[in-house]
Structure 1
Amino acid sequence: MAQSAKPISSPVPDVWYPTLAVFMLVIGLVITASFFIYEATSSKKNRSLAKELITGAVASVFLGFGSLFLLLSSGIYV
């Protein structure tokens, strides 16, 4: 017995895409700016590799998902 296939749907409503894009890109850019400020103001012996990696990873995640939602909100479905 063949079962009917369910259409694939997004876990996030389509109307939220522009809002999510703006918020995630803004958060990602703020974290990126704080990363650059940290790099410019701290001396080489006071820097922490763990803090740099964590800050870079969090900024990357927010900018990545922000870019994804920006593409989705503009009609480019990836």
Structure 2
Amino acid sequence: MKTVEIKAASFFELLKLNGQSMWDVFALMIDGEEQLIIFFDDEEKELFEYLLPKTLGQLKQDQENFSKEYAEKIAEFN
């Protein structure tokens, strides 16, 4: 399994500048092999991990699950 390390702040700023979502980028990274994506802060502290699936179908399912969980978390704060 490949490991991809990403500086979170730079990654999300670049997405914002290019008008892309992280899911668009993840879709481009799919190559038939699972990949561990590790996000770091500017001090190299690990923030979170994401296991990029092997297929676009699995990625779409992850996106749906993430959206649902995110909406539930936001609702808890309101």
- Structure scoring higher RCO (CA < 8 A, sep ≥ 6) equals 1
TM-score relative to the length of structure 1: 0.32
Considering fraction of residues, name the structure with more helix. Answer: 1
- Which has the higher Rg, Structure 1 or Structure 2? 1
Q: Higher strand proportion, which one?
A: 2
Q: TM-score, normalised by structure 2?
A: 0.32
